[in-house]
A and B are shown apart, each in its own frame.
Chain A
Amino acid sequence: MNLLFFYSLRNLLTRRLTTALTALGMALVVFVFAAIIMLAEGLQKTLVDTGSYSNVVVIRKSSGSEVQSGIDRLQASVVETQPEIGLGQNGSQLLAKEMVVLITLEKQDSASRSNVVIRGVSQASLSLRPQVRLIVGSLPRPGSSDIMVGKSIAKRFKGAGLGESLVFAQRSWRVVGIFDAGSTGYSSEIWGDVDQLMPAFRRPVYSSILFSLRNADDFQAVQTRIQNDPRLTLEAKRETVYYKEQSEAMATFLRILGLSLTIVFSIGAVVGAMITMYAAVATRTAEIGTLRALGFRQSVILIAFLMESLLLGAIGGCSGLFFASFLQLLTVSTTNFQTFSELAFSFTLTPGIAIKSLSFSLIMGFAGGVLPAYRASRMNIIAALREA
């Protein structure tokens, strides 16, 4: 009923301050709700995008991540003999033996330090990772002290800009290029020649092996073979799965934190809505009596008041979502609990999140209005009319 809608809407507009305050409460809750989910979404997106479905990561069994893993040359050569490994354009294997270590670098804007991943890469590393693109400068020359840094590192840390040098492992390394890895985790890494970095850090073993499958379905066969080989103490995972697991702890933490906060906040907002709606009902007692006297049914009264609180929820929800969408301009950098290294990611708004947030605000509106609306509909007509 059109009139019903306008009746509810106009009643909201009449008491502007009250409506604004109640909607503000709900908007804030939706803002926090959306922000936390957007953060968890952004985190997982970063880490999932970081992998390719047809790539396989091999690390030492039970090591958890590349940083704690070690693969000696003998084991590495066994892995290289797997028939399912794809071949590149020039006929060479699409396989890269890499070394991953953490170093501490000083941040650009504060004196605090953070652990940063240094990845020793080989020839095939770049082709195995199509998300990574050089944007400034040149690739590190094999056999030199050249390194290239991810966009996020160049921006955030001292001495990591183009042309500058970083000193570690008793050598000076020149930054010759900056690469963009989109929203993936590589943007927070520094890459150099593995054959230079390994001796510099005195590590005779690789950390991981990355290769591409000729056929994405071959994964099961390779995994079984590698994990059952008695000479090897390795495990193989799809790259996407590997990275998803890396974010598990943080994403879960964020989600739990976010959920518990939202529940608490929403109680506050719902309380606010209830107060407003009860007051609305109390003020319009005579009106309700009149409507009932005129012949409007109890259900109509119920719907009218419920609609009012739903509208409050909708207004709050839209505003909250609107402001939350601006969060996408921010980037968050923190240390991933699991890998212990620096990770930069941003808030990601998806249609799914928008729908969830709006539904949530409508639920809050409903929760706040259902009891007062019920009371309004159950009023005794004569008692209500007497309040005139």
Chain B
Amino acid sequence: MLLKLLFRNAFRHRLRTLLTIGGIAVAILAFGLLRTVISAWYAGVDASSASRLVTRNAISLIFPLPLSYKEKIRSVDGVRLVSYGNWFGGVYIDEKNFFANFAVEPGSYFSLYSEFLLSDDESAAFFRERKACVAGRKLARRFGWKIGDTIPLRGTIFPGNWNFVLRGIYQGKDKTIDENQFFFHWEYLNETLRKTMPRRADQVGFYMIGLKRPDQAAATAEAVDGLFRNSYAETLTETEKAFQMSFVSMSEAIITVILLVSYVIIVIIMAVVANTMAMSVRERMGEYAVFKTLGFGRGYLAALIIGESLTLTALGGLLGIGLTFPTARAFGRAVGQFFPVFRVSADTILLDVAAAAIVGVVAAVIPVWRIVQVRIAEGLGRIG
């Protein structure tokens, strides 16, 4: 009986109900999208491995480390594998086509990054050729690259026009892996530098360290940094997760703003639903008074109103959640260059549901309070 009443009452005013549900759907959609944007920011952090360390110059990322550090790092207790590379920062035709590109030591790097899947043929071709390069699947799709294509990059940090031949397209082991990266041979970069800018040769931007055991992370990091303390190029070694987090925290302010904004949306929609409920209840004041005369208690009436409110938010919420997936996909394609991994997580959906529930309850507060207060006679008088 209660459910019947709830549903019929909610749809008494079809236009008003549809509008409210529409508004709720849009709000939940926006809320979910913003949450997805925030989790996209943390995508790098989430995909980090606990058994990898990043070593870089302690002053800042723009200063290099000598290649000679490699052997010393390898000899540290707990280090299984050492790889190295440089952030290349090359531009593909236009600055707008931004993607991450690195010069790396191929064998060790791909061994360390076992989540990048390359076929045996592609690996072999890549390792063999000096000017070969490997790109992620999403990146290749974005520009329509095929194996064998020549990819030109304009150097910004390392000036000049650099050409590479695409020999491999890697896939991520699972959906959280970034498939927008680009790698080529560090040796190719270095031998070119030796000829053109010898001063800058034999220097790496970072070292990637594979740990024998993840629980040795802190100790190993300390040991590596200790090696180079008080030298010309001091190092800072941290887990990959911490390293990724440092990037995220640089945009802390903006992330906070987005978070706040997502809460504001909820408040707005709360106002709208509360408005609808207040109006509906006010119109039916007389009816509720009649319920009271018939003997229905306050609890029952409160349940009626809260139930109606929740029905609205539930319907709107479901619609919003449903729309979130296609919208996120479209959005992801548009902001692909800022956020390489853009997917709607289960947490986001749960938050959506929670938001809808909270809005439903809060919006019903004032009307419930009014109903509980009104005296029968007063209420009946309103039938008019």
On whether A and B touch (CB less than 8 Å), the answer reads: yes
Residues of A within 8 A of B (CB): 17-18, 21-22, 24-25, 28-29, 31-32, 39, 60-64, 67-68, 101-104, 112-115, 168-170, 201-202, 204, 233, 253, 257, 261, 264-265, 267-269, 271-272, 274-276, 278-279, 332-335, 340
Q: Mark B136-149, 1 if CB is under 8 A from A, else 0.
A: 00000000000000
User: Is the CB of B264 closer than 8 A to any CB of chain A?
Assistant: yes
Q: How far is the CA of A334 from the CA of B255 in the complex (A)?
A: 10
- A271 and B23 contact, CB distance less than 8 A: yes
Query: Which residues does chain B contribute within 8 Å of A202, judged by CB atoms?
Result: 232
- A265 and B19 contact, CB distance less than 8 A: no
Query: Which residues does chain A contribute within 8 Å of B61, judged by CB atoms?
Result: 102, 104, 115, 340
Q: B261: which of A24, A32, A274, A275 is its contact (CB, 8 Å)?
A: A32
- B59 and A275 contact, CB distance less than 8 A: no
A/B interface sample: 23 pairs, CB < 8 A: A17-B275, A18-B275, A31-B264, A39-B257, A68-B157, A104-B61, A112-B252, A114-B250, A170-B230, A170-B232, A264-B26, A265-B30, A265-B265, A267-B26, A268-B23, A268-B265, A268-B268, A271-B19, A271-B22, A275-B20, A276-B279, A279-B279, A332-B253
Chain B interface helix/strand/loop/mixed: helix
Q: Which B residue sits closest to A254, measured CB to CB? A: B254
- A18 and B279 contact, CB distance less than 8 A: yes
Q: B16: which of A115, A257, A275 is its contact (CB, 8 Å)?
A: A275
User: Is the CB of B278 closer than 8 A to any CB of chain A?
Assistant: yes
Q: A101: which of B62, B95, B272 is its contact (CB, 8 Å)?
A: B62
Q: Mark B327-340, 1 if CB is under 8 A from A, else 0.
A: 00000000000100
- A264 and B30 contact, CB distance less than 8 A: yes
Q: A62: which of B154, B246, B251, B275 is its contact (CB, 8 Å)?
A: B154
Q: Which A residue sits closest to B95, measured CB to CB? A: A64
Q: How far is the CA of A257 from the CA of B271 in the complex (A)?
A: 23
Query: Which residues does chain A contribute within 8 Å of B261, judged by CB atoms?
Result: 32, 261
Query: Which residues does chain B contribute within 8 Å of A253, judged by CB atoms?
Result: 338
Query: Which residues does chain B contribute within 8 Å of A29, judged by CB atoms?
Result: 268
- B20 and A271 contact, CB distance less than 8 A: yes
Q: B253: which of A21, A168, A269, A334 is its contact (CB, 8 Å)?
A: A334
User: Is the CB of B300 closer than 8 A to any CB of chain A?
Assistant: no
- B269 and A333 contact, CB distance less than 8 A: no
Q: Which A residue sits closest to B230, measured CB to CB? A: A170
Query: Which residues does chain A contribute within 8 Å of B249, judged by CB atoms?
Result: 112-114
Query: Which residues does chain B contribute within 8 Å of A279, judged by CB atoms?
Result: 16, 279
Given A29-B268, A39-B257, A115-B61, 6 other A-B residues pairs in contact with their CB atoms under 8 A: A18-B275, A60-B159, A63-B157, A201-B63, A267-B26, A275-B272
Query: Which residues does chain B contribute within 8 Å of A18, judged by CB atoms?
Result: 275, 278-279
Q: B251: which of A204, A233, A334 is its contact (CB, 8 Å)?
A: A334
Q: Given the interface contacts A62-B154, A114-B250, A335-B250, does A101 sit within 8 Å of B275 by beta carbon?
A: no
Minimum distance in angstroms from A332 CB to a CB of chain B: 5
Q: Which A residue sits closest to B231, measured CB to CB? A: A170
- B271 and A272 contact, CB distance less than 8 A: yes
User: Is the CB of B156 closer than 8 A to any CB of chain A?
Assistant: yes
Q: Which A residue sits closest to B158, measured CB to CB? A: A68
- A264 and B251 contact, CB distance less than 8 A: no
Q: Given the interface contacts A101-B63, A104-B60, A278-B16, does A28 sit within 8 Å of B268 by beta carbon?
A: yes
Query: Which residues does chain A contribute within 8 Å of B338, judged by CB atoms?
Result: 253
Q: Which B residue sits closest to A39, measured CB to CB? A: B257
User: Is the CB of B267 closer than 8 A to any CB of chain A?
Assistant: yes
- A204 and B199 contact, CB distance less than 8 A: yes
Minimum distance in angstroms from A327 CB to a CB of chain B: 11
Q: Mark B90-114, 1 if CB is under 8 A from A, else 0.
A: 0100010000000000000000000
